[in-house]
Chains A and B, each alone.
Chain A
Amino acid sequence: MTDRMGTNRMGARARFLALAVAVSLAGTAIAAGQPQIVGINAAVLNNVRIRSAGAPQAHIAVVRQRVALNDEVQTGGRSQLQVLLLDKTTFTVGANARLTIDRFVYDPNRSARSLAASVTKGAFRFISGRPDTAGTTNVRTPIASIGIRGTIFEGVVGQDAANIAAGEPGVGPRVRSDPATASLIILRGPGRGTQGRVRPGVIDVTAAGRTVTIDQPLRAVYVPAAGMAPIGPFIISPRGLQQVQALIFPGVAQAMAFLPNDRTGTGFVPPETGGRRPRYGYPGYPEPGGDGYPGRGGYPGQGGFPGQGGFPIGDLPSGGNGQMSQDPAGKPNQVQPNQGQMGQGQDPAGQSPGGQSPGGQGPGKKLKSPAAVQAPGPTPTPTPTPTPTPKYPGKP
C-alpha cells in the first residue's frame, strides 16, 4: 500500500514536471514567435509603410510604432522616416527608400551591439548610437558594404546616386552606372576636431573585393555598379551634398525652398547648369578643383571656415587635376577612380564664387539633366545629350 501511494506521488510529480516543462516550452515558443523589437518610428513624414517579415502587405507607419527585426520600411515621394533603435542609433530615410534591419543584438549592460541593415533604394542618414558600444555595425546596399566605426554617414542608392555622382568632379558623367544599384556613400563625421563624448568616425566601403576607408567628413565613395570597384574617396561638392540633403530631408528642402522645382517627387533636382562649359565637354557640371565649399579649402585646418563670412555654394572653382578631361579620340570611357582628394588648396583667392547661393544665378536658368546613366556594358558611351529640365529659380 505504501509502495503504491509512493508510486502515485512519484507519478503525480512526474506529471507536474512534464506539465511545467510543456507550458514553459509553449511560452518560449510564443516568445520566439513574436517579432523581435529593435526600435521605434521616432518621426514620420507623409507616406511611410512597413511590411513585416512574411506579411503579404505593408501597413502605414505611425510615430512610436515598434519596428521589428526584418521589417521592411518603405517611404513614398516627399516622405521621410527616422527609425530610432534601442541603442539610440538612428536611421533617417528619405523619399522612395527601402530599409531593413537585418540583425540587431544589443546588450546595454555589456555595451555591446551587433547591427546589420540593408538599404536597397533611396537615401539615408545613419547616426551611431552609444559611442562606447563595442561590436560590429554594417550597412549594405545592393552592391556595397559599409563597415561602420562610430560615425555619421549618408548614402544614396539607385538612380539619384548615379545622377549626383555624374555631377561630381570626383566621378563625372562618363562613368557608367547601374541606375538600380549605384551607391554613393558620404562620411559626415565626427571629424578629428570633434567635441563632446564622441570619437572620430570611420567607414570602410567595400565593393568588388576592394575596400576604401574614409575618415574625414565630406569624403565620399561611389560604387557605380555590381562588380565595379569603389571610386574615391573624393570630396563631395556642395551641390552634391545639397542634393543628398534634399533627398534625405525633403521637407526641409521644400520649406527652405532651395530645391523648389523637383517634379520627380523624390526631392531630387539635377545639377544646375553652371553657365559655362567644363573642359570635359558636358555643360552643367562644375569643373574639378577645390572642394567648392566657402572659405578657401573649406574645412577647419585646411584653410579656414571661421571668419571667412558668407556661405557661397556656387560653382566649383576652376583648376583641379583634370582627370575628367574629355577623351579627344572618342574612345569608350572607362571608370576613372579618383586618385586622391581633389583640389585642396587649388582655389586661388578671388576665384571662389564668394557669396553665391545655389540659386544665385537667378531664376530662369535652364537646367540640364545629369548624364544619361546606363547599365554597365562593353559598348562605347557617347557623350550624354542633355535633356530639357525644369528651371531653377534663385534663392531669396
Chain B
Amino acid sequence: MATRYPLYLCLALSSAWLMAPPAFAQADPAAALDQLSDAATGTGSGTALARQQIRSGDLTGAAATLERVLINHPDASDVLLLHASVLCRLDDAGGARLEIDEVRGRAIPGQAWAEATAACGPIGRPGRGG
C-alpha cells in the first residue's frame, strides 16, 4: 500500500492544479498590454498603431496610444498634431485647438496638417511647416 503513496501524491498535485483558480493556472493576463506599450516606444510604430485604431473606430484607444508616445517623445510635434486631430474626431475641438497652437511655428510635414484639416475642418496652418 505504501508503494502507492507517490502515485496518490501525483494525483493529488494534478488535482490541485486542476482545481486551482484561473489566476493560479493561467498565463499573465496583462501580456496583451505589453504590445501596446511597446508600440509607443517609437513615434513611427506608435502613430502607425494609432492610425490603425482610428481606421477601426477606436478613437479613445488612438488617443491613449498617442499620449503614450508623447510621454516617451514629448517633442514629437507631428504626434501632437495627430492627437489633436483625434480630439477633433472626439468632438473636443477646443482642446484640439490648444494643441494645434502648441505646434505653431514648428516644422511639420504637410501630410500631418492634411490629416488635421480632414479631422478638424479647414484650419489656418500656423507658422512654417515642412
For the complex formed, measure the closest distance between the CB of B115 and the CB atoms of chain A, giving whole angstroms. 14
Please, what's the 1-or-0 string for A24-46, where 1 marks a CB less than 8 Å from any CB in chain B?
10111011101011011111110
Contacts of A80 in B (CB 8 A): 71
Q: Is A264 an interface residue (CB 8 A)?
A: no
Binding site for B on A (CB under 8 A): 8, 12, 15-16, 19-20, 22-24, 26-28, 30-32, 34, 36-37, 39-45, 63-64, 66, 80-82, 84, 86, 88, 90, 92, 125, 127-129, 131, 152, 188-198, 200, 217-218, 238, 241-242, 245, 249, 251-252, 254-256, 258, 291, 293-295, 298-300, 305-311, 313, 357-358, 395-396
**Nearest CB on A from B31, distance (A):** 9
Q: Which residues of B contact A195 (CB under 8 A)?
A: 57, 59, 89-90
5 A-B residue pairings within 8 Å (CB atoms):
A43-B37, A189-B90, A196-B89, A217-B92, A241-B94
Contact of A249 among B37, B57, B64, B74 (CB under 8 A): B74
Contacts of A66 in B (CB 8 A): 28, 30
A98 to chain B, nearest CB (A): 18
Q: Which of B13, B20, B29, B33 contacts A42 (CB 8 A)?
A: B33
| B95 CB–A CB distance under 8 Å | yes
B95 lies within 8 A of A252 (CB): no
Chain B hits for A63, CB < 8 A:
37, 41
Which residue from chain B places its CB closest to the CB of A89 in the assembled complex?
A: B64
Would you call B12 an interface residue if the criterion is a C-beta within 8 Å of the partner chain's C-beta atoms? yes
Determine whether the beta carbon of B20 is less than 8 Å from that of A306.
no
User: A286 → chain B, closest Cβ, in Å?
Assistant: 15
Q: Tell whether B130 is near chain A: CB-to-CB under 8 Å.
A: no
Interface size range on B against A? 35 or more
From known contacts A42-B37, A197-B57, infer whether A31 and B23 are also in contact, taking CB-CB under 8 Å.
Answer: yes
One of A39, A92, A127, A298 near B33 (C-beta < 8 A): A39
CB B105 to nearest CB in A, in angstroms, measures 5
Task: Determine whether the beta carbon of A299 is less than 8 Å from that of B126.
Answer: no
**Known pairs A295-B97, A311-B104; A128 contacts B60 (CB<8 A):** yes
Q: 10 tightest CB-CB pairs across the interface, nearest first?
A: A306-B121, A191-B91, A309-B124, A251-B74, A31-B24, A197-B57, A311-B101, A255-B75, A196-B59, A23-B16
Q: How far is the CA of A197 from the CA of B103 in the complex (A)?
A: 28
Q: How far is the CB of A142 from chain B (nearest CB, A)?
A: 25
Q: Determine which of B1, B4, B71, B87 lies in contact with A251 in the assembled complex, contact meaning CB atoms within 8 Å.
A: B71
Q: Which of B65-98 contact A (CB under 8 A)?
A: 67-68, 70-72, 74-75, 77, 80, 87, 89-95, 97-98
CB-CB nearest in chain B for A312: B101
